[in-house]
Amino acid sequence: MAIRQIGKRGLLFTQSELVCWRIYRLYQRQQLLNDLMAWGNVFWPRFLRRLEWPEAYTLKVIQLLIVLAVWPLLLIGALLQMLAKWLLFPARFLATYFTPKKLQAPGEKSLLGLHNAFVSASVSSVSLSDSLYVGCIDEWVEQLYGAEVAGKKSLSLYIKQLEEERRGLTMEVNLEASLRDELAVARERLSRDLGHYLVDECKVA
């Protein structure tokens, strides 16, 4: 099992952990690029797309008038936010090539431990979208446990299993909040089922 030392503080990572960190940084760069192209959110913000419309015609008209009234203000705010993203992009993109001061080596040698060290520790201001996060975790699983295991156990597969379990539920839920909950539950189950990755690395070594 190879140990690598990175950063000025001499953080110790296994070779697989270091590769996972680099994978995470690649996905952060992709997120930054995606954010620059997200013009759809400027002209029609996400919360408006999630807005529930009343069935009554009169209430629906009133709500539409309110949306039209505040839309110019929302547009100005979104344009200013997009401008800030473009201005800060070079510095934020360049920062992904350096080791953050808050970065710590994973304490628990599991998928959840890696998540806590790299994602939950707020080592970067770049947060991944749900789809990019799932792709990143799936690559971590393949790197830590091998392609054969990743073909049977991955975050994307566990999320599909959760969706099938909840398909019979008829209660109305917020889709975005539900997806975040599914990500957390699926990650916990996946990490528990995979166990510690150092066991696999020691076997290989």
The encoded tokens of residue 87 equal 């201005």
At residue 123, the pLDDT reads: 59
Closest CA to 6 of 117, 112, 134: 117
Q: What is the pLDDT of residue 115?
A: 92
Joined together, the tokens standing for residue 8 give 């000025």
Block residue for tokens 């709500």: 63
Check whether 205 has a pLDDT greater than 60: no
Q: How far apart are CA 144 and CA 82, in angstroms?
A: 37
Q: Provide, rounded to the nearest whole percent, the portion of the chain with pLDDT above 70.
A: 81
Secondary structure of 77-118 in HEC code, one letter for each residue: HHHHHHHHHHHHHHHHHHHCCCCCCCCCCCCCCCHHHHHHHH
Quote the pTM value.
0.77
The total number of residues written for the chain in this structure: 205
pLDDT value of position 169: 58
Structure tokens at 196: 């510690």
* Residue range 25-38, pLDDT digits in tens: 999 999 999 999 88
Written as six digits, the tokens of 37 are 């192209």
